[in-house]
Structure 1
Amino acid sequence: MIKRKLMMVERIMYVDSGTPLNCVFTAKIKGTLHEADFKTALEKIQKKHSLLRSRIDTDTEQYPFFIEEREMEAIPLRIIDRESDEDWLHESEKEWFRMFEDHRKPLAQLVWIKGNEVSEILWVLPHCICDGTSQVTLMRELLCLLDDPTMELDTYQAFSSVDDFLPSGFNTKKKVRKARLYLLMARLFFLMQKKSKKRNLGKNYVIHWKLNPEITNQITSKCKAHGVSVHSLLCASFMQAFQEIRGAEAKRKVISPVDVRHFIPEIKQDHVFAFAPTIELSLKKGNHGIFDQAGHIKKDLLEKLEKIEARELLWMGEQMHPLVERMISMLKSTHGGHDITLSNMGKINIPDQYQRFELETIMSPTVAFPWLNSNTLVTTTYKQEMDFTLMSNEDFLSRQKATEIKDKALELLTVSLQN
């Protein structure tokens, strides 16, 4: 049975009991689906993942805890009639603000936008329990079970604390001294910061688009020819677009989340987990072409990936719990030093052909961060199509400006493919 304190990173994504921060992941299905099969599938998925049988207790301890409930209700299924191809966007925006406050119900919700021949399925989960890989896993499991309700899922033992991930030679005494120094420096940093009352009061939005297989393959081929990654090219294109549209307001930096499973193999691909280390990447000074910048970014990314000590990061974070509320307050009130958080989830490993239906496409996850700088770009690739969701808040970056930045980035990409 789970009873563990939320990790520092989970607490930041939890925010507080009155602030929703949900991720929504959508799949478009061709074929006939049945409500009874949904309920069977959700029961088996909930049985596998203990976090889907847990609630967050904020009352009995100093810090929030996950507590697994023996009598947790089933994952709710909300069914609505499908009227247009845009329904999933409208429902996503609604689900961003769902409050998971009923302790009898799990930290998950499924939405079925039901059509005669086409449906969309939306997984809705608080960000404090899942990352992008978790969402892909849950969608894959759901589709497989909808196709074959007799299939069984293997359960796994949930970790009890970050200490479970520490290597045998981890010198806790030495790290404690380092952590105390970091905590002291962080306290001094926050004392020096002027408190800001600035908050986003506008409307959150999402802009969605796809690149067809021809353009997607051109990007991939061109990146290979230049020895750069698709991720570094996207970073370069969007940072340059921010620079050209926002001028002096542009930071020339992006933040890129990385899948923690690359560093901690005990966290399996099919485990629900929330922590993703981040890397800051920037354009090099001067006027350079997009592929030149992409080469610089790739080199910088590889160097920083080698230096990530994910196990120590998790442990060190646990020493910072006294400052979490100040961290959240700063995220809500400061512009940050970056233009955008860019999450490239890469190729999505979910089958498209099933006995009962076809997975026509997937849409990149959407999210509405409560931070002042809520600029977020998520991209996925499925069936040789790159898919993008660009999100922000009207107070921080207007939808019109975001559209201009998107168009400029696509223009830069297009020009780079022609050269």
Structure 2
Amino acid sequence: MRRKLFFIERVMHGEGNFVFNSVLPVRVRGSFSETDLQLALKGLQKTHALLNAVIQNDKNEEPWFIVDDEHPVNIPIRITERINDDDWQTESVKEWSIPFNSYKEPLMRLIWIKGKGVSEFLLVAHHCLFDGRSILNILEEFLQFLDDPDTLIAAEVSISGISDVVPPARLNNRIHQIMAKLLLGIISMTLSLIPNKDKPAEKTKAYLLHWQFDQELSLSLMARCKAEGVTVNTIICSILFDAFKQVLPKNGLKKITFQIDIRNFNPQIKKNNIFSFALMIQVLAYTGLNFFDSARAIQKDIKNKMAKLDPYKVFILSEFAHRYFHKIVRFLRNLEPDKECMLSNLGKLDIRQHYKEFELETIFSPSVMVAEGRTTALITSTYCGQMGFSFISNSGVTYEDACAIRDKIMQIAAEHIVTESIV
């Protein structure tokens, strides 16, 4: 297999030195051996060609995913002793800054926090290869192979190029190609006029703050959303804007950037495709409205913006940007986010809990950190009826403020979701 990195993948990979790691932790009850883990990972590598790939640059210094069948590579396993229930958080933060040697090893590794009868597994993946949906699918298959290494899972038909993602009628549209070149030429000129900073934007120490709603609050929130005709996403937005405003009234949250799963727009990308291409939209806070009216206003804004999204156009435009790669990367590395929070809601995780040889106790909401840039993000997911939250930052929001924001999120949810429901 040989595939050139798409432009977005290339930006996240950098020049082989960008640390853009996502971490998906799970807690399992059972006994395992290192051989069990190796067999499960081998099963994944047989099912997904890209898990066998390393990066090679061509004569133009453009990177390609390469699978060399004569010199196979193994997914690395790191084993550490389990001391307490919070070790997975310490290891997650550690893994944010450990680079992949993408020219010699796969872009995924496994961390085993090994305990007696209970362990945590951390799937660590470079974001240039995996988005949230991809890594969740890999987790589901990993658990199946761990339970039975001979289990039969259909092999992924890998995406081999842009023609597998964009329909030919759109890909070969001359007007779109001309407009893309003109727009990127303007962007290139603009970037050339921006002074080059001596060093990337300053960051604070990165941290992870994780918490969960109990089942009662989680189920009440989902039921209330249904009754009010709003989505969980928009309720989370309202809560997040409110919490920031109360904790940081002078330096609150101006906008939330949503991660949108491109699979919702593009049926050519299958569930089991390893893929990383996020669509994004931004929403602003609505002041002067009550809690649920604010949520409805945000939802209307999201609906309008999603109706205008054209993933094919975005993809074609980005693929014409390879010649401007270094200018764009320089700009992004020096970008200073202005009171912004990234939000990614992975929704209900439909992964079974009980296996023949072990039990999946919980899936913690994943985390991802851009080591070369500045990030504040909230990632949420729901497993076994409980909503979990991972708040991460290395930019502006102190750990103490994050704890206060967490407490406000819990308080606001309880006040508006549970109390008002009772009334």
> Shorter-chain TM-score category?
over 0.9
Cα 1:250–1:333 change in 2 (3 A) is farther
Question: What CA distance in whole angstroms lies between the structure 2 residues aligned with 1:275 and 1:292?
Answer: 32
Q: What is the CA deviation profile of residues 22-52 of structure 1, one whole-angstrom value per residue up to 9, with x for unaligned ones? A: 1110110012223222111111101111111
Any idea what SS the aligned residue of 1:409 has? helix
8 Å CA contact 1:240, 1:252 repeated in 2: no
Whichever residue aligns with residue 181 of structure 2, its letter is R
Q: Structure 2 length normalisation: TM-score?
A: 0.93
Any idea what SS the aligned residue of 2:26 has? strand
Of residues 208, 211, 214 in structure 2, which corresponds to 1:212? 214
Question: What CA distance in whole angstroms lies between the structure 2 residues aligned with 1:86 and 1:73?
Answer: 31
Unaligned runs of 5+ in 1: none
Aligned length in residues: 416
Question: What CA distance in whole angstroms lies between the structure 1 residues aligned with 2:325 and 2:292?
Answer: 39
Using the TM superposition, give the Cα deviation of residue 102 of structure 1 relative to its aligned residue in structure 2, in angstroms. 6.0
* Match of residue 31 from structure 2: 32
1:231-310 aligned within 5 A: 231-284=233-286, 286-310=287-311
Once structures 1 and 2 are overlaid, which stretch shifts more, 18-27 or 119-128?
18-27
8 Å CA contact 1:75, 1:110 repeated in 2: yes
* Match of residue 405 from structure 2: 405
8 Å CA contact 1:379, 1:386 repeated in 2: yes
* Match of residue 148 from structure 2: 148
Once structures 1 and 2 are overlaid, which stretch shifts more, 72-81 or 219-228?
72-81
Any idea what SS the aligned residue of 2:128 has? helix
Using the TM superposition, give the Cα deviation of residue 371 of structure 1 relative to its aligned residue in structure 2, in angstroms. 5.4
Using the TM superposition, give the Cα deviation of residue 76 of structure 1 relative to its aligned residue in structure 2, in angstroms. 1.5
Any idea what SS the aligned residue of 1:247 has? coil
Cα 1:334–1:251 change in 2 (3 A) is farther
* Match of residue 334 from structure 2: 333
Once structures 1 and 2 are overlaid, which stretch shifts more, 239-248 or 177-186?
239-248
Whichever residue aligns with residue 219 of structure 1, its letter is L
Any idea what SS the aligned residue of 1:184 has? helix
Question: What CA distance in whole angstroms lies between the structure 2 residues aligned with 1:325 and 1:349?
Answer: 40
8 Å CA contact 1:72, 1:104 repeated in 2: no
* Match of residue 378 from structure 1: 379
Q: What is the CA deviation profile of residues 312-357 of structure 1, one whole-angstrom value per residue up to 9, with x for unaligned ones? A: 2111110112333333333332323452000000001110011111
Whichever residue aligns with residue 65 of structure 2, its letter is F
Any idea what SS the aligned residue of 1:388 has? strand
Once structures 1 and 2 are overlaid, which stretch shifts more, 286-295 or 320-329?
320-329
Question: What CA distance in whole angstroms lies between the structure 2 residues aligned with 1:246 and 1:63?
Answer: 44
Q: What is the CA deviation profile of residues 207-233 of structure 1, one whole-angstrom value per residue up to 9, with x for unaligned ones? A: 011111001011111111111111101
Whichever residue aligns with residue 14 of structure 1, its letter is H
8 Å CA contact 1:257, 1:279 repeated in 2: yes
Question: What CA distance in whole angstroms lies between the structure 1 residues aligned with 2:315 and 2:144?
Answer: 33
Whichever residue aligns with residue 163 of structure 2, its letter is D
Any idea what SS the aligned residue of 2:278 has? coil
Unaligned runs of 5+ in 2: none
* Match of residue 167 from structure 2: 167
Using the TM superposition, give the Cα deviation of residue 272 of structure 1 relative to its aligned residue in structure 2, in angstroms. 0.9
Whichever residue aligns with residue 190 of structure 1, its letter is L
Question: What CA distance in whole angstroms lies between the structure 2 residues aligned with 1:31 and 1:370?
Answer: 34
Question: What CA distance in whole angstroms lies between the structure 1 residues aligned with 2:200 and 2:206?
Answer: 16
Q: What is the CA deviation profile of residues 97-144 of structure 1, one whole-angstrom value per residue up to 9, with x for unaligned ones? A: 222216342111111111111111111110100001111111100111
Cα 1:155–1:323 change in 2 (3 A) is same
Question: What CA distance in whole angstroms lies between the structure 2 residues aligned with 1:75 and 1:96?
Answer: 17
* Match of residue 83 from structure 2: 83
Whichever residue aligns with residue 34 of structure 2, its letter is E
Cα 1:40–1:198 change in 2 (3 A) is closer
Question: What CA distance in whole angstroms lies between the structure 2 residues aligned with 1:391 and 1:199?
Answer: 17
Using the TM superposition, give the Cα deviation of residue 283 of structure 1 relative to its aligned residue in structure 2, in angstroms. 1.6
Using the TM superposition, give the Cα deviation of residue 266 of structure 1 relative to its aligned residue in structure 2, in angstroms. 1.8
Q: Structure 1 length normalisation: TM-score?
A: 0.94
Any idea what SS the aligned residue of 1:312 has? helix
* Match of residue 352 from structure 1: 353
Once structures 1 and 2 are overlaid, which stretch shifts more, 213-222 or 9-18?
9-18
Using the TM superposition, give the Cα deviation of residue 397 of structure 1 relative to its aligned residue in structure 2, in angstroms. 2.2
8 Å CA contact 1:134, 1:272 repeated in 2: yes
* Match of residue 367 from structure 2: 366
Whichever residue aligns with residue 100 of structure 1, its letter is F
8 Å CA contact 2:188, 2:327 repeated in 1: no
Question: What CA distance in whole angstroms lies between the structure 1 residues aligned with 2:161 and 2:182?
Answer: 23
Any idea what SS the aligned residue of 2:366 has? strand
Q: What is the CA deviation profile of residues 134-171 of structure 1, one whole-angstrom value per residue up to 9, with x for unaligned ones? A: 11111100111111221122223322221322224224
Question: What CA distance in whole angstroms lies between the structure 2 residues aligned with 1:100 and 1:333?
Answer: 22
* Match of residue 65 from structure 1: 64
8 Å CA contact 1:200, 1:370 repeated in 2: no
Question: What CA distance in whole angstroms lies between the structure 2 residues aligned with 1:120 and 1:64?
Answer: 34
Cα 1:404–1:192 change in 2 (3 A) is farther
Cα 1:403–1:46 change in 2 (3 A) is same
Any idea what SS the aligned residue of 1:323 has? helix
Using the TM superposition, give the Cα deviation of residue 372 of structure 1 relative to its aligned residue in structure 2, in angstroms. 4.3
Question: What CA distance in whole angstroms lies between the structure 1 residues aligned with 2:341 and 2:278?
Answer: 16
1:190-201 aligned within 5 A: 190-196=191-197, 197=199, 199-201=201-203
8 Å CA contact 2:203, 2:373 repeated in 1: no
Any idea what SS the aligned residue of 1:364 has? coil
Whichever residue aligns with residue 134 of structure 1, its letter is S
Once structures 1 and 2 are overlaid, which stretch shifts more, 234-243 or 39-48?
234-243
RMSD between aligned residues: 1.9
* Match of residue 13 from structure 1: 12
Any idea what SS the aligned residue of 2:403 has? helix
